[in-house]
Structure 1
Amino acid sequence: MRFWDDERAVTVQIGAVLLLGFVVVSMSMYQATVVPDENRRVEFRHSERVQGDMQEVRNAILRTAATDGSTPVSVELGTRYPARAVFVNPGSPGGTLSTSSLGTLTVRHAVADDSTTTRSDFDER
Protein backbone atom coordinates (compact mmCIF):
# COMPACT_ATOMS: atom_id res chain seq x y z
CA MET A 1 0.00 0.00 0.00
CA ARG A 2 1.40 3.33 -1.10
CA PHE A 3 0.35 6.78 0.12
CA TRP A 4 -0.35 8.29 -3.29
CA ASP A 5 -2.72 5.49 -4.14
CA ASP A 6 -4.58 5.66 -0.81
CA GLU A 7 -8.09 7.04 -1.29
CA ARG A 8 -9.47 6.60 2.25
CA ALA A 9 -11.42 9.50 3.74
CA VAL A 10 -9.93 11.58 6.52
CA THR A 11 -13.13 13.21 7.78
CA VAL A 12 -12.37 12.46 11.41
CA GLN A 13 -9.04 14.29 11.23
CA ILE A 14 -10.56 17.22 9.32
CA GLY A 15 -13.39 17.43 11.86
CA ALA A 16 -10.91 17.41 14.75
CA VAL A 17 -8.84 20.19 13.15
CA LEU A 18 -11.97 22.28 12.51
CA LEU A 19 -13.17 21.71 16.09
CA LEU A 20 -9.77 22.72 17.43
CA GLY A 21 -9.91 25.83 15.26
CA PHE A 22 -13.33 26.78 16.64
CA VAL A 23 -12.08 26.26 20.20
CA VAL A 24 -9.02 28.45 19.60
CA VAL A 25 -11.08 31.22 17.96
CA SER A 26 -13.68 31.08 20.76
CA MET A 27 -11.01 31.27 23.45
CA SER A 28 -9.29 34.19 21.75
CA MET A 29 -12.60 36.04 21.43
CA TYR A 30 -13.28 35.43 25.14
CA GLN A 31 -9.79 36.72 26.02
CA ALA A 32 -10.26 39.79 23.82
CA THR A 33 -13.76 40.76 24.96
CA VAL A 34 -14.92 39.16 28.22
CA VAL A 35 -11.69 39.26 30.24
CA PRO A 36 -11.14 43.04 29.75
CA ASP A 37 -14.79 43.68 30.63
CA GLU A 38 -14.47 41.69 33.86
CA ASN A 39 -11.18 43.46 34.66
CA ARG A 40 -12.86 46.83 34.02
CA ARG A 41 -15.45 46.00 36.73
CA VAL A 42 -12.70 44.89 39.15
CA GLU A 43 -10.76 48.13 38.51
CA PHE A 44 -13.88 50.28 38.97
CA ARG A 45 -14.62 48.69 42.35
CA HIS A 46 -10.96 49.19 43.28
CA SER A 47 -11.18 52.84 42.27
CA GLU A 48 -14.18 53.30 44.57
CA ARG A 49 -12.27 51.70 47.46
CA VAL A 50 -9.24 53.93 46.83
CA GLN A 51 -11.48 57.02 46.84
CA GLY A 52 -12.73 55.95 50.27
CA ASP A 53 -9.16 55.34 51.41
CA MET A 54 -8.10 58.79 50.23
CA GLN A 55 -11.03 60.29 52.13
CA GLU A 56 -9.68 58.52 55.21
CA VAL A 57 -6.24 60.02 54.50
CA ARG A 58 -7.81 63.48 54.33
CA ASN A 59 -9.66 62.90 57.59
CA ALA A 60 -6.47 61.64 59.24
CA ILE A 61 -4.58 64.73 58.09
CA LEU A 62 -7.26 67.01 59.52
CA ARG A 63 -7.40 64.98 62.74
CA THR A 64 -3.60 65.14 63.04
CA ALA A 65 -3.62 68.91 62.54
CA ALA A 66 -6.33 69.34 65.19
CA THR A 67 -4.92 66.98 67.83
CA ASP A 68 -1.18 67.31 67.12
CA GLY A 69 -0.91 63.51 67.04
CA SER A 70 -0.49 60.94 64.31
CA THR A 71 -3.03 58.63 62.74
CA PRO A 72 -1.96 55.66 60.59
CA VAL A 73 -4.03 55.11 57.46
CA SER A 74 -3.69 52.49 54.75
CA VAL A 75 -4.44 52.95 51.05
CA GLU A 76 -4.95 49.99 48.73
CA LEU A 77 -2.68 50.87 45.81
CA GLY A 78 -3.08 47.81 43.61
CA THR A 79 -6.02 45.59 42.79
CA ARG A 80 -6.20 41.83 42.57
CA TYR A 81 -7.70 40.27 39.47
CA PRO A 82 -9.66 37.01 39.71
CA ALA A 83 -7.67 33.86 39.09
CA ARG A 84 -8.12 32.41 35.62
CA ALA A 85 -6.91 28.92 34.76
CA VAL A 86 -6.62 29.35 30.99
CA PHE A 87 -6.94 33.07 30.28
CA VAL A 88 -4.39 35.80 30.92
CA ASN A 89 -4.68 38.69 33.39
CA PRO A 90 -2.63 41.88 33.45
CA GLY A 91 0.48 41.86 35.61
CA SER A 92 0.30 42.49 39.32
CA PRO A 93 -0.13 46.21 39.90
CA GLY A 94 1.67 48.08 42.60
CA GLY A 95 2.53 51.55 43.64
CA THR A 96 3.87 53.80 46.33
CA LEU A 97 2.35 56.65 48.25
CA SER A 98 4.69 58.99 50.04
CA THR A 99 4.82 62.39 51.62
CA SER A 100 7.39 65.08 51.20
CA SER A 101 8.64 67.90 53.38
CA LEU A 102 6.63 71.07 53.51
CA GLY A 103 7.69 73.95 51.37
CA THR A 104 6.95 77.64 51.49
CA LEU A 105 3.73 79.00 50.05
CA THR A 106 3.45 82.66 49.16
CA VAL A 107 0.27 84.35 47.98
CA ARG A 108 0.66 87.85 46.55
CA HIS A 109 -1.82 90.42 45.26
CA ALA A 110 -4.80 88.47 46.51
CA VAL A 111 -7.99 90.23 47.53
CA ALA A 112 -10.29 88.43 49.94
CA ASP A 113 -13.39 90.49 49.37
CA ASP A 114 -16.85 89.75 48.07
CA SER A 115 -17.81 92.51 45.65
CA THR A 116 -21.54 92.04 46.30
CA THR A 117 -21.29 93.31 49.89
CA THR A 118 -20.72 96.93 50.93
CA ARG A 119 -18.18 96.28 53.67
CA SER A 120 -14.90 94.41 53.63
CA ASP A 121 -15.33 90.70 54.29
CA PHE A 122 -11.84 90.17 55.64
CA ASP A 123 -9.72 92.75 57.34
CA GLU A 124 -6.34 92.77 55.62
CA ARG A 125 -3.74 94.00 58.11
Structure 2
Amino acid sequence: MPKTTVLLVLIFCCHLAVLAERKRFTLYVNPHHRDLNETLYADDHHCHTIPYFYRRRASSIRTNGNCILLFPSLDCKKGEEFVFKKHCHGSRCCSKMDFAGCEIVKEDGTVLKIDDAAQAYVIC
Protein backbone atom coordinates (compact mmCIF):
# COMPACT_ATOMS: atom_id res chain seq x y z
CA MET A 1 0.00 0.00 0.00
CA PRO A 2 1.52 3.37 -0.96
CA LYS A 3 2.53 5.72 1.86
CA THR A 4 -0.01 8.32 0.69
CA THR A 5 -2.90 5.88 1.08
CA VAL A 6 -1.75 4.85 4.57
CA LEU A 7 -1.46 8.51 5.56
CA LEU A 8 -4.96 9.30 4.27
CA VAL A 9 -6.46 6.33 6.13
CA LEU A 10 -4.69 7.43 9.32
CA ILE A 11 -5.98 11.01 8.97
CA PHE A 12 -9.51 9.73 8.35
CA CYS A 13 -9.40 7.50 11.45
CA CYS A 14 -8.15 10.40 13.58
CA HIS A 15 -11.00 12.57 12.28
CA LEU A 16 -13.54 9.88 13.24
CA ALA A 17 -12.02 9.63 16.72
CA VAL A 18 -12.37 13.38 17.23
CA LEU A 19 -16.01 13.32 16.11
CA ALA A 20 -16.75 10.42 18.46
CA GLU A 21 -15.49 12.49 21.41
CA ARG A 22 -17.88 15.36 20.79
CA LYS A 23 -20.86 15.36 23.10
CA ARG A 24 -24.31 16.08 21.73
CA PHE A 25 -27.84 16.80 22.80
CA THR A 26 -31.08 17.68 21.04
CA LEU A 27 -33.46 20.56 21.76
CA TYR A 28 -37.11 20.32 20.71
CA VAL A 29 -39.56 23.15 20.15
CA ASN A 30 -42.40 21.16 21.73
CA PRO A 31 -42.68 19.04 24.90
CA HIS A 32 -42.19 15.26 24.80
CA HIS A 33 -39.43 15.43 22.15
CA ARG A 34 -41.84 16.33 19.35
CA ASP A 35 -41.58 18.15 16.07
CA LEU A 36 -38.85 20.64 15.20
CA ASN A 37 -35.48 19.87 16.74
CA GLU A 38 -31.83 20.79 16.58
CA THR A 39 -28.90 18.61 17.63
CA LEU A 40 -26.06 20.60 19.15
CA TYR A 41 -22.47 19.50 19.69
CA ALA A 42 -19.53 20.64 21.81
CA ASP A 43 -16.30 19.13 23.03
CA ASP A 44 -15.42 21.79 25.58
CA HIS A 45 -16.90 23.37 28.69
CA HIS A 46 -17.40 26.83 27.19
CA CYS A 47 -20.56 28.88 26.73
CA HIS A 48 -22.22 28.36 23.34
CA THR A 49 -25.14 30.24 21.86
CA ILE A 50 -28.17 28.23 20.77
CA PRO A 51 -28.91 28.76 17.06
CA TYR A 52 -31.21 31.73 16.48
CA PHE A 53 -34.30 29.75 15.38
CA TYR A 54 -34.29 27.67 18.59
CA ARG A 55 -33.43 30.44 21.03
CA ARG A 56 -36.35 31.13 23.38
CA ARG A 57 -38.38 28.37 21.67
CA ALA A 58 -37.13 25.07 23.13
CA SER A 59 -39.49 23.11 25.40
CA SER A 60 -37.77 19.75 25.82
CA ILE A 61 -34.33 18.16 25.60
CA ARG A 62 -32.78 14.78 24.87
CA THR A 63 -29.37 14.73 26.62
CA ASN A 64 -28.04 11.47 25.13
CA GLY A 65 -26.62 10.72 28.58
CA ASN A 66 -24.63 13.96 28.78
CA CYS A 67 -24.73 16.69 31.40
CA ILE A 68 -26.14 19.88 29.87
CA LEU A 69 -26.47 23.33 31.41
CA LEU A 70 -29.04 25.62 29.78
CA PHE A 71 -29.14 29.35 30.41
CA PRO A 72 -31.88 31.97 29.85
CA SER A 73 -29.12 34.49 29.06
CA LEU A 74 -26.68 34.60 26.15
CA ASP A 75 -23.65 34.95 28.44
CA CYS A 76 -24.18 31.79 30.55
CA LYS A 77 -24.52 33.82 33.73
CA LYS A 78 -23.47 31.86 36.81
CA GLY A 79 -26.35 31.13 39.16
CA GLU A 80 -28.87 30.98 36.31
CA GLU A 81 -28.02 27.53 34.99
CA PHE A 82 -30.60 24.77 34.60
CA VAL A 83 -28.95 21.35 34.95
CA PHE A 84 -30.07 18.38 32.88
CA LYS A 85 -28.33 15.10 33.76
CA LYS A 86 -29.10 11.68 35.17
CA HIS A 87 -29.41 11.38 38.94
CA CYS A 88 -29.24 15.13 39.46
CA HIS A 89 -30.47 16.54 42.76
CA GLY A 90 -30.72 20.14 43.88
CA SER A 91 -32.57 23.33 43.21
CA ARG A 92 -31.03 23.87 39.75
CA CYS A 93 -31.69 20.32 38.51
CA CYS A 94 -34.52 19.65 36.13
CA SER A 95 -35.74 16.15 36.80
CA LYS A 96 -37.78 15.91 33.60
CA MET A 97 -36.63 16.37 30.06
CA ASP A 98 -39.63 18.65 29.42
CA PHE A 99 -39.06 22.23 30.55
CA ALA A 100 -42.54 23.03 31.90
CA GLY A 101 -42.36 23.44 35.67
CA CYS A 102 -38.57 23.69 35.67
CA GLU A 103 -37.71 26.91 37.47
CA ILE A 104 -35.16 28.53 39.77
CA VAL A 105 -36.13 30.89 42.59
CA LYS A 106 -33.27 33.33 43.07
CA GLU A 107 -32.35 34.87 46.45
CA ASP A 108 -34.16 38.10 45.57
CA GLY A 109 -37.36 36.13 44.89
CA THR A 110 -37.11 36.39 41.10
CA VAL A 111 -38.29 33.23 39.35
CA LEU A 112 -36.37 32.06 36.29
CA LYS A 113 -37.91 29.58 33.87
CA ILE A 114 -36.23 27.74 31.03
CA ASP A 115 -39.33 26.79 28.99
CA ASP A 116 -39.21 28.95 25.86
CA ALA A 117 -36.29 30.86 27.41
CA ALA A 118 -33.04 28.93 26.71
CA GLN A 119 -30.48 30.98 24.81
CA ALA A 120 -27.11 29.38 25.62
CA TYR A 121 -25.60 26.12 26.81
CA VAL A 122 -22.54 24.49 28.33
CA ILE A 123 -21.73 20.80 28.17
CA CYS A 124 -20.62 19.90 31.70
The TM-score range, normalised by the shorter chain, is: under 0.3
TM-score (norm 1): 0.28
TM-score in terms of structure 2 length = 0.28
Higher relative contact order (CA 8 A, sep 6+): 2
Structure number with higher strand proportion: 2
Higher helix proportion: 1
